Amino acid sequence: MNYRVEDAVADNMRNLILTNKGERLMDYNFGANLKELTFELGSEETDLEAVTRIRNAVSRYFPYVSLETFEPFNDYAVDKSVARVGVRVTYRIPLINQTERKLEVTLYSVG
């Protein structure tokens, strides 16, 4: 449970970005649908697609959030057969004069 608006928005943003379309009951379109991009994240074209998907999802479900930066990352240090990829998103909530907050979402792919 959250007692501050900033914390509730952070949890909701994480859920939105990690959810794929079709996973949320009664709202098929909820989510950024990044799972299908996991194997290709890191290439310029796929990164732009991921940014577009995140931006569209945020503007639809959280129009009060202002996205600032987007940074994809890859980490193969743990195991060469398991890719740890993800995105770091910086955002603000202008209506409550919130300073920048960062959200890091990690996706795992095996291949």
Rounded to the nearest angstrom, the gap between the alpha carbon of residue 54 and the centroid of all alpha carbons in its chain is: 6
Please tell me the pTM assigned to this model.
0.86
For residue 72, how many other CB atoms are within 10 A of its CB? 17
State in words which class domain 5-110 has: alpha beta
Three-state DSSP class for residue 31? coil
Q: What is the CA radius of gyration of the chain?
A: 14
Residue with tokens 């955002």: 91
Domain ranges of the chain: 5-110
Q: How far apart are CA 32 and CA 37, in angstroms?
A: 11
State residue 111's pLDDT score.
Answer: 62
**Quick one: pLDDT at residue 84?**
78
pLDDT in tens, the chain (111 residues): 899 999 999 999 999 999 999 999 999 999 999 888 887 777 889 889 999 999 999 999 999 999 999 998 877 666 667 777 888 999 999 999 888 999 998 888 776
